[in-house]
Amino acid sequence: MKFLNDMKLGSRPCPWYERAKASTRKRQAEWLKRRVVEAYFQQHYDMFDQTVAAFNLPPPPSKKRRLDSLMQEFYLRPNAGLQSEFHGRRHDHGLTECPYCGNPLIPDTLDHFLPKEDWPEYAILANNLVPQCRSCAPIKGRRYYCSTHRRAMFLHPMYSAVLSSVQFKINVSLRAGRPNFEIIFGAARTTAPVDVIRIEQHLREMKVMGRMLEFCVRHWSHWRHKVKTLGIDIEALFRLELGQTSSGEYGPDWATAFKKGVLRDADSLAALNTKPPTPTAPIEELIELNVR
């Protein structure tokens, strides 16, 4: 999970809105020429930071419902300039884990932190669009405010520095020869109590524990297969991959926590490190196939 402060852009003017204004699509161009439309969006863009910060209040409902389809159209049918911004945010971010959940996959989709269906005025606001993994996307979906707990369900990766302090620990053990995984979450001791509550809710709403358990089962099978087929030494490989992150029991992402967990438990490590098979016969000489 990651604080993406560097990704945050200005909202007056929002560079993405400026891109939208260059649209040559007739309907989009006509609307964006109207000063009243620009004033409306600027007024909302000015309030966005405040709305995210006021996490214990439901965001004001969208008023100009007749602009819904237009604003969603800017997102769904962007002009070339805006499309290039979306592509950059979706793919050229340098992230190696999902900022929302810590899944060690390169995020390749975008999340509207304030859902575009309910707050279409933020459909193309740069600070409302966050790179996300595809597992998080259907879980977060259109949800935002929890009226039971009276607070936003999620932390915004561009606004919540505390996300970077969340770490994962996985205790691995063997029960009747089968691996058992215990997932533990940690945050910096200095984290404010209100932030601890929000992190816990964020993790629950994103169903991170269940998804990490599934991840562990998949990775156990993956590494077991690698040992059996390639005869690799799991202990040496995990220690090499962990490198300098090998101190402490927690890791910043699920894969690191999994490797540390396996290395901490001698029985689990031995169960993964089964003997390599006898070498298979070398593949005989190949001929090229013509499939053109």
Which residue ranges make up the site for Zn ion (CB under 5 A)?
98, 100-101, 103, 133, 136
Minimum CB separation from Zn ion for residue 238, in Å? 23
Bridge partners of 181, per DSSP, are 172
d(CA 176, CA 271): 12
Give the chain's end-to-end CA distance (angstroms, integer). Answer: 46
53 sits in which H/E element: helix 35-53
Q: Which residues contact 157 (CB under 8 A, 6 or more apart)?
A: 1, 2, 3, 4, 7, 99, 100, 130, 163
- Quote the least distance from Cβ 4 to Zn ion, whole Å: 13
Report whether 253 contacts 168 (CB < 8 A).
yes
Residue with smaller CB distance to Zn ion, 104 or 120: 104
44 or 89: CB nearest Zn ion = 89
Smallest Cα–Cα separation from 181: which of 218, 149, 138, 156? 218
Q: Which is nearer to Zn ion, 136 or 262 (CB)?
A: 136
Contact 152, 146 (CB under 8 A): yes
* Cβ at position 105, least distance to Zn ion in Å: 8
Return the number of the residue (151 or 211) whose C-beta is nearest Zn ion: 211
CA distance 183 to 161: 23
In the complex, what is the shortest distance from the CB of residue 132 to Zn ion, in angstroms, rounded to a whole number?
6
Instruction: Establish how many alpha carbons lie within 13 A of residue 197's alpha carbon, considering only the half-sphere containing its beta carbon.
Output: 9
Nearest residue relative to Zn ion (C-beta): 98
Cβ distance to Zn ion smaller for residue 98 or 155: 98
C-beta of 263: minimal distance to Zn ion in Å? 25
Question: Cβ 172 to Zn ion, closest distance in Å?
Answer: 22
User: CB-wise, 20 or 203, nearer to Zn ion?
Assistant: 203
